Homo-oligomer: A and B are copies of this chain.
Amino acid sequence: MYVTLKDGIHDPQGKAVKDALSVLGFNGVEQVRVGKYFELDIAETSLETAGPLVNGMCDQLLANTVIEKYRYELIEK
């Protein structure tokens, strides 16, 4: 799952990364947005039930839904 700041929310970490890249000579970077990335192994038998489960995890713990949005991909193993 990917947790990123909502559009329009100021991202000082991204700005810092952009500036650091600029110092290193990477000048073509127009914008950087930094987010969090989680890989979870879940003992869930079906993709149908895994979706609501992951939504619950994001809403309750992994994302601050006031300022952050999230999306996820489910991969069956």
Chain A positions within 8 Å of B, measured between CB atoms, are 2-4, 14, 17, 20-21, 24, 26, 28-44, 53, 56-57, 60-62
Contacts and interface: CB of A to CB of B under 8 A. Distances in A.
B37 A2 contact: yes
Contacts of A32: 38-41
13 contacts: A17-B62, A20-B61, A21-B61, A24-B61, A26-B57, A28-B44, A29-B41, A30-B41, A32-B38, A34-B36, A34-B38, A36-B36, A36-B37
Quickly give the copy total for this chain. Answer: 2
Contacts of A4: 37, 39
Q: Lowest 5 A-B CB distances belong to which pairs?
A: A35-B37, A37-B37, A30-B41, A31-B41, A33-B39
